Amino acid sequence: MTARVIGGRYELRSRLAKGGMGTVWLAWDRTLQRSVALKEVVLAPYGEDMTVRRKRALREARAAARIRHPAVVHVYDAIMDDESPWIVMSYIEGTSLERRIERQTLSEREIARVGRDVLAGLTAVHDAQVLHRDVKPANIIVDSEDRVFLVDFGIARISGERGLTSANTLIGTVEFMAPERIEGQPVGPASDLWSLGVTLFCALEGYSPFLRDGPIETVRAVTSGHPPSFRRPGPLADAITGLLVADPAGRTGAAELGRRLDAILTAGSRARGRGEERRTGPGQDRKARGGQDPRPPNREARGGQGAHGPGREARRGPDDHGPERVREAGRGPGAHGPDRAGDAARPGEAGDGGNPLLGRSGREAATLLGSMEPNDAGRLLNDAAKTPGPAAEALALLPPPRAARLIDHMIPQRAARLVGAMPTGLSASVLAYTDDRVTAAVLGALGVVPVAVRLVEAMTLRRACRVLAHMPPAVVARLLSATSDGRTDRLLGGLGRAVREEFTRLTGAT
């Protein structure tokens, strides 16, 4: 099947995401020989004619292109093709904050760090006289090096320009809209800060505070003036409460929010430092105390900035997209200037038995894995898993999203060997980012052993149900009978009748 080419230049490869304001595609730029992200602007969901749609596309491009900040998407071009507008952006693979929230519980410090980076990007946006107007977890991307990107300017508004939305039409995700937007009042930077507050609430509490069964009920919840309650009180909850004040004039501003988030990050750093000193004493390195460095072994910058995001409507159900990771446009192997591990990656030149991972230090092996395409790295890991210790050490040194990407390209039985050889906490962090079916296959390969039980216990309830649904009922029943985290009944309630029957037969429960 012949690939569609947009603008005579951009070859569509696959659909990355689809939302209310358009579809984002992975494409190949034939002219510059690099991957890019193309946003196909939605045609006519609000009854506007082609002239208005064209203006919106060009406005989005101008809004994003005038901003230069590491946490803001880099827009290359805006074109028309077959009477449809397209936005050309840098391609970055990544994990949305929405997906992270669904997969695991985030610490206050993690949330504060994401919030601080998004706030910095929003400040740059506001300094350019632009309002984003669609800040939400789906539009925040975190890459494998923990860099944060604010994406999708599909409904951005440039100060001083006439609005392009139809009369009596709200464009955006209502549960994240500030009350003044819904009520048709003047809006400003405080409106984006409200949306950031709702986003941070979702990250802290694990659910969307104003989402209701229907749009009318959701609007009422947003405009009621009643702030949501917190199950995790503390400094972060206090900062979020200040953002969810109905009156924009009384809402916490960017400067004050920045100070509060910085205080949370500083306190967290001090607490971690004191904890490590108590455990190990000052001056001991991480390797000597048996820990793992969660950062990648090579932290050099990988080119320009930018990200693209899904722009999906927030929802309460699980995300149906596969695992994601962030990569800059055109940054494949060898695209960093001199190929950092190109020579080392030649089989037979290093290591043992022709596998370049063997015979290296964990850090050297991790550097090599981090420079390779996932399918190539997966093949090396499959072979290296015959003696899992060194490969598991290298995998543990990679950021969890990157390590998960490699496991997705491994034979499950081989991946299980590496997962079983890693500390349970690290392996749980990695499996939090693998595809549900891959995770199920890895657990199945491990069998009903303590490490598999602990990995299930480390999952959120929703993720555990999704993963276990792909496993044989008899195996699931045995795993659940071995858990001790008090969630067995809730897990059984989320699984099928066959699992419940197997569990009853196995345990004699009624």
What's at 9, amino acid-wise? Answer: R
Interatomic CA distance for residues 235 and 264, integer angstroms: 7
- At residue 23, the 3 state secondary structure works out as strand
HEC string of 53-74 equals: HHHHHHHHHHHHHCCCCCCECC
| Cβ atoms of residues 134 and 15 within 8 Å | no
| Cβ atoms of residues 446 and 420 within 8 Å | yes
Identified catalytic residue from 29, 134, 152, 408: 134
Which helix (H) or strand (E) segment is 80 a member of? strand 75-81
DSSP one-letter code for 352: B
Compute φ and ψ for 25, nearest 5 degrees. -115, 145
Task: Identify whether 339 is a catalytic site residue.
Answer: no
CA distance readout (Å), 447 to 83, 258, 456, 488: 55, 47, 12, 18
CA distance readout (Å), 262 to 113, 136, 236, 251, 273: 8, 21, 11, 18, 16
CA distance readout (Å), 10 to 13, 32, 89, 152: 9, 10, 11, 19
Which residues are annotated as catalytic? 134
